[in-house]
Amino acid sequence: MSIIAARIDNRLLHGIVATQWVPEFHPQRLMIIDDEYANDPTKKAGMRMAKPAGVALSIISRETAYANFAAGKYDDHTVFVVVREPQVVLDLQEAGQKVPRLTVGGTVDPAEGVGATQVSRRAYVLDSQVPTYSAIAGNGCDITVQYVCADKCEPLSKYVSL
């Protein structure tokens, strides 16, 4: 079955992801795809402490993720992917992975003068990311904005033209 959902979250694995989003999707595997964390043993170890019980956890680089998906390593898993930027999701799609749903959760507040649209209290879409989100949506992915499960789920297209 493989990827059942993905999330953009600048904090990657934290309490809200572990206690709300993992139970929402019931994945067998939570996958953090991030080069910085995958290549830093201290950050990786700290993140492992937040792992929800009963779910496998992978904290891997983009290259490893793409290679593992291509090799069919997760074909018999349900996988919930968490990344910090939408390009990773588009790269997964371009590598042949179906991503049925993408939730934009939390992002870094952009620097002064950087073109961006605020899509929730905790999330922004940079002008430079709009084509990426557009391509993701064009590949059949439902993109929504929602920080916690209790928040109203709204389509990203309400805020930016996809």
Q: Distance between CA atoms of 89 and 95, rounded to whole angstroms?
A: 10
- The residue extents of the domains of the chain are 2-158
- The whole-number average pLDDT for the span 88-95 is 97
Query: Does pLDDT of 30 surpass 90?
Result: yes
Cβ-Cβ contacts under 8 Å for 120 (sequence gap 6 or more): 104, 145, 146, 147, 151
For the stretch 33-87, pLDDT in tens is 999 999 999 999 999 999 999 999 999 999 999 999 999 999 999 999 999 999 9
Cβ-Cβ contacts under 8 Å for 93 (sequence gap 6 or more): 99, 135, 136, 139, 141
Residue 113, pLDDT score = 80
Residue 8 pLDDT level (bands cut at 50, 70, 90) = very high
pTM of the model as a whole = 0.96
Query: Does pLDDT of 21 surpass 90?
Result: yes
CATH fourth-level superfamily of 2-158: Phosphotransferase system, sorbose subfamily IIB component (3.40.35.10)
Residue 52, pLDDT score = 92
Averaged pLDDT of the chain: 96
Residue 111 pLDDT level (bands cut at 50, 70, 90) = confident
7-27-82 Cα angle (round to 5): 20
